[in-house]
Amino acid sequence: MKPLSILAILTSLAAGPVASQAFGLKEGDARFDRSVLLDRLSGQVVTFYDNGQSEYFTDGRYTYTYANQGGTAYGYWEVAADGSVCIDFVNGFSRCDLYVMNAGRMILLDEKGDRYPVRPQQ
């Protein structure tokens, strides 16, 4: 294989996850630094406006409880180097999301670019 071909393959592999995780950032979205986000999420419950709740346990466990006691999904979470929050669910599904601040509000962005504002902690 030619050196240029190897470089092209390695470049495409390295760029693939980043390109696929654009998250649909909008003007004013400020990403969290990885260490800040770890501190902000670890041991906390994040509540969304539909009353769904994400709980980020300090030992890496994760739960998402759907609104109106609609069930709970279980998994394990970590914050990636790029600041995205990745969850491996026990059912084999995995996903990465991105938390940003915009106009004083914390918002979760999924990989499709959907935006879920977080209720302020009380």
pLDDT for the residue numbered 68: 87
Give per-residue pLDDT as tens, 75-118. 999 999 999 999 999 999 999 999 999 999 999 999 998 999 99
**C-alpha radius of gyration, the chain, whole number:** 16
Which CA distances in Å does 11 have to 8, 22, 23? Answer: 5, 17, 21
Output the six-digit token pair for 98: 């991105």
Reported pTM? 0.80
SS3 of 82, please? coil
pLDDT for the residue numbered 86: 97
Tell which wins on pLDDT, 86 or 5. 86
Report the candidate in 46, 51, 57, 49 with the shortest Cα–Cα distance to residue 99. 46
Give per-residue pLDDT as tens, 27-50. 999 999 999 999 999 999 999 999
pLDDT for the residue numbered 121: 80
Sorted by where each begins, the domain ranges of the chain are 23-117
pLDDT above 90 (res 4) = no
pLDDT for the residue numbered 9: 36
Answer whether 41's CB lies under 8 Å from 56's CB.
yes
- Looking at CATH, the fold of the domain delimited by 23-117 is given as Lipocalin (2.40.128)
pLDDT band at 7 (very low <50, low <70, confident <90, very high): very low
